[in-house]
Amino acid sequence: MKENNTFFATCSKGFEDLLVKELNDLEINTAKQEYSGVSFTGSLEQAYQACLWSRLASRVFLKLSSFEAATDDDLYKGVQTINWPQHIGMDGTLAVNCTINRSEITNSHYASLRTKDAIVDQFKELYETRPSVDREQPDVRINVHIDHDQVDISIDLSGEPLHKRGYRLSSVQAPLKENLAAAILIRSGWLSGKADQPSDLLDPMCGSATFLIEAAMMSLNIAPGLKRKFYGFLNWKGHDAESWKKLINKAKKSVKVFSDIDNKFTGFDADKYVIASARQNIHAAGLQDLITLEHKDFSESCAFMVENAGSIRAGMVVVNPPYGERLGEKQELTHLYAEMGACWRDHFPDWKIALFTANDDLIKHIGLRAHRTNSFFNGAIKCKLLQYQIRPALSEEKKQEKTEKYKEQRASILNRLKKNYKHIGRWARKNNIQAYRVYSADLPEYAAAIDVYGSWVHVQEFQAPSSIDVNKARQRFELLVDVIPEVLGIDKNKLIVKTRRQQKGLSQYEKQGSAHHEFTVEENGFKLHVNLNDYLDTGLFIDHRDTRQYVFDKIKNSQSVGKFLNLFSYTSVFSIYAAAAGAETTSVDMSNTYIKWSERNFVSNNLLSDKHQLIKADCLQWLVIANRNKEKYKWIFIDPPTFSNSKSMEDLFDVQKDHVSLIEQAINLLDIGGEIIFSNNFKKFKLDKILMEKYQVENITASTIPEDFKRSPKVHHCFIIKP
């Protein structure tokens, strides 16, 4: 082979620059960064060097030819210009892989077939036999890359992805690829032979131990491809066996013995089966005497490190925690991420943390400020690598100051909660109210709401203003949660904690978990179902307690009761009040979950009958049909979401922009003497002047704010609208 061959080493997006440096360190000085890879020119031996030593590359291609092809016939002719018997034996095997980007040829499978046909037909013309196809492990794997009609035909020298090091015997679900793990370690500063290299490596959620094995191999200068049994060039007719043998022997001699390095490698995992799998991989890599594994969850691993702090040196924590694909999983993982941040901050002075995750929301709960952030891709998932440097341990004087400040802050929030609970608790007991608010971000630095539901307490953390440090906000919220059982006299196991952020569409109604913790609370004699665990909202908007009583009194005292319509009815609590007052009710909501919930509310209050309709529908579409059918109602209650882009809705809904058309459609359904009670909880809401000029409008917001919400009067707006 010539000395100036053209090669292309592929890698995942995000670490092309690292691959350039790696190839330069291998004395491949022609490396040039490209999209998802690095091109270079040089000898076949240099390409072998990349296959054997690259920890970052996915594949290494040897380019054979480049040409333009706008049709499959052009592709066929271009492939036939290559002398294929120089590369494949008559009785050999081949496979063709094809990638296409913005070209006239669009079908990669068909392009692969045409390439194979061109090769086979060349053999048929020259010889009596032809190579056969082997998609698993062919003698020669051919890569076809078509970009804007420009075709590159290459031999895949790697044969199979280079991340397959040859040591993985057992795998866990969704393991981290070895070359991605290596890139994370290198980007984080785990580089063999550097004076500032951390002395110890810890992975508290090690999975199949990929980070630990890769880091150990780096420290021992083990070529990542040394244990591989197969490469794509081994049965290729252009293979230089002598050069390859020389590289292998040199790589074997360069491996350090364990006593040459001063690194400790420790891994923990909560799953004993995962630990067993990891041990198999470590043994296969020959690193069982260097890497220590323990079956412990994160809390246990943190406690273990604290107990043994005297014998453990500061080093690097590298971790790839769960991302949380489902909403309920994310809710559960907020506590894990917060626990990780608290553990590292308090017990890992001088350590460096490398955290790899795909969830920006969960990152916020770490409560630490990253000094460096890099983007990576784990397959198709865009991820981030965040690096944290934990501050040195506090002096005794600083610890004392911190303790005194904590006591002062705890006393402050404790006294505020006691004051609130003394007043509101007495008021709730006097009025036989079982669901009420005790605290609603009264102190700006403690951004949360605390609600009592019978013997349970529901706490929602609100997103702190951007001006408040995330770490401080997290610490204050933890302090608030800590004092609640003491103030309210409850068991901490009856404390439900949630984080509430700005939601999109109907995400505030989406399922959070699967605890199915539903029970009833009483309000003004009604039994109402609530669920504190499974959804962000509980099933009962307690700020509308007085509004519901207003509706009941209005209907009860009316000379002609008429029909009651509840739009965006949620769990239909307003309909329960209206039904008990004597009205026939229609409740409309697009969620099947809440229609069923509504039915349970009606059953619990002995009100379920043919007089009360529960309709699953998009309220905006239903209004059009109701107007067409000339439906009439004496009372219409409307409490729409602030914003919705639910798939169940035909259009986007924004309460500020769309409330005029919503109310005008509803007002057409009013019977003579009827009225609309319109409410929403958008704090900046302004009723449009058109409505105030066209109809009789009365703002009754102040009279509908209950005693337990007096400290947050902007919790909702409420208007009476009449024709």
Q: Is the pLDDT of residue 502 over 50?
A: no
For the cut 80, the answer to whether the pLDDT of residue 504 exceeds it is no
pLDDT of residue 442: 81
The per-residue pLDDT for 508 is 38
Residue ranges covered by each domain of the chain: 5-156, 178-221+256-389, 398-501, 518-722
Predicted local confidence at residue 405, as pLDDT: 84
**Contact criterion met (CB below 8 Å) for 23 and 38:** yes
pLDDT in tens, 652-709: 889 999 999 999 999 999 999 999 999 999 999 999 999 999 999 999 999 999 999 9
**Which of 166, 223, 233, 232 has the alpha carbon at shortest distance from 52?**
223
- What architecture is domain 398-501? 2-Layer Sandwich (3.30)
The pLDDT-based confidence of 120 (bands split at 50, 70, 90) is very high
Instruction: Flag whether the pTM goes above 0.95.
Output: no
Our separate counts of H helices and E strands in the chain read 19, 30
Render pLDDT for 190-239 as a digit per residue (tens, 0 to 9). Answer: 874 454 455 789 999 999 999 999 999 999 999 999 999 999 999 999 99
Q: What pLDDT does residue 514 have? A: 41
Give the Cβ contact number of residue 720 at 10 Å. Answer: 16
Instruction: Note the pLDDT tens digit of each residue in 530-574.
Output: 999 888 889 999 999 999 999 999 999 998 888 999 999 999 999
Quick one: tokens of 83? 């002398």
Q: Which residues contact 440 (CB under 8 A, 6 or more apart)?
A: 449, 450, 709, 711, 712, 715
Strand locations in 396-538 (E): 435-440, 448-453, 456-462, 495-500, 518-523, 526-531
- Fold held by 518-722: Rossmann fold (3.40.50)
Pairing relationship of beta strands 563-567 and 584-589 according to DSSP bridges = parallel
Q: What is the pLDDT of residue 505?
A: 35
* Percent of the chain whose predicted confidence (pLDDT) is above 70: 92
**Residue 175 confidence (pLDDT):** 76
Q: What is the pLDDT of residues 4-15, one digit of tens each?
A: 899 999 999 999
Kindly state the average pLDDT of the residues 394-415.
82
Distance CA 590, CA 619 (A): 7
According to CATH, the topology of domain 5-156 is VC0802-like (3.30.2130)
Residues with Cβ < 8 Å from 683, sequence gap 6 or more? 714
Look at 520-529, 620-629, 643-652 and tell me which has the smallest mean pLDDT: 643-652
Work out the average pLDDT over 71-99: 95
Question: Is residue 175 a contact partner of residue 203, using CB atoms and an 8 Å limit?
Answer: no
| 129-133, 474-478, 571-575, 591-595: segment of lowest average pLDDT | 474-478
Q: For residues 472 and 368, give the distance between their C-alpha atoms in angstroms, rounded to a whole number.
A: 10
The H-or-E segment that residue 201 falls in is strand 200-203
- Which residue from 604, 614, 559, 597 is spatially nearest to 580, judged by alpha carbons? 604
610-630, pLDDT tens digit by residue?
999 999 999 999 999 999 999
Q: Do domains 178-221+256-389 and 518-722 have the same CATH topology?
A: yes
| Torsions phi, psi for 57 (to 5 deg) | -70, 150
Residue 377 has pLDDT above 60, yes or no: yes
CATH assignment, 178-221+256-389: 3.40.50.150
Band the pLDDT of 641: cuts 50, 70, 90.
Answer: very high
- pLDDT for residue 515 is more than 70: no
pLDDT at 467: 62
Q: What element of type H or E holds 415?
A: helix 396-430
- Report whether pLDDT(506) > 60: no
- pLDDT of 477 reads 85
Is the pLDDT confidence value at 310 over 80? no
Which residue, among 67, 59, 120, has the nearest Cα to 95 in the 3D structure?
120
> Tens digit of pLDDT for each residue in 329-358?
666 788 889 899 989 988 898 899 999 999
**Contact indicator for 598, 635 with CB cutoff of 8 Å:** no
Q: Half-sphere exposure (CA, 13 Å, Cβ side) for 681?
A: 10
- Pair 80, 122: CB distance under 8 Å: yes
Q: Is 368 helix (H, G, I), strand (E, B) or coil?
A: coil
Integer Cα distance of 372 and 386 in angstroms: 6
Under 8 Å between Cβ of 599 and 513: no
Amino acid at 433: I
How are beta strands 518-523 and 526-531 bridged, if at all? Answer: antiparallel
Maximum average pLDDT range among 32-41, 334-343, 362-371: 32-41
- Report yes or no: 676 and 666 within 8 Å, Cβ to Cβ: yes
Q: Is the pLDDT of residue 516 over 90?
A: no
> Are residues 199 and 314 in contact, defined by beta-carbon separation less than 8 angstroms?
yes
C-alpha R_g of the chain: 34
Q: Give the residue from 46, 140, 48, 156 showing the smallest Cα distance to 99.
A: 156
Helix (H) / strand (E) element for 332: namely helix 327-347
DSSP E strand stretches across 424-556: 435-440, 448-453, 456-462, 495-500, 518-523, 526-531
List own/partner pairs for 26-31 with CB under 8 A and 24 or more apart: 26/50, 26/53, 26/54
Whose tokens are 């110890």? That residue is 200
Is the confidence at residue 500, as pLDDT, over 70? no
Yes or no: say if 263 and 201 are a contact pair by the CB < 8 Å rule: yes
What residues are paired with 263 via a beta bridge?
Answer: none
* Residue range 254-285, pLDDT digits in tens: 999 998 888 899 999 999 999 999 999 999 99
Helices (H), 93-209: 108-126, 178-188
Q: 606, 633 in Cβ contact below 8 A? A: no
Sequence-separated (6 or more) residues with CB below 8 Å from residue 495: 456, 457, 459, 481, 484, 485
**Mean pLDDT, all residues of the chain:** 90
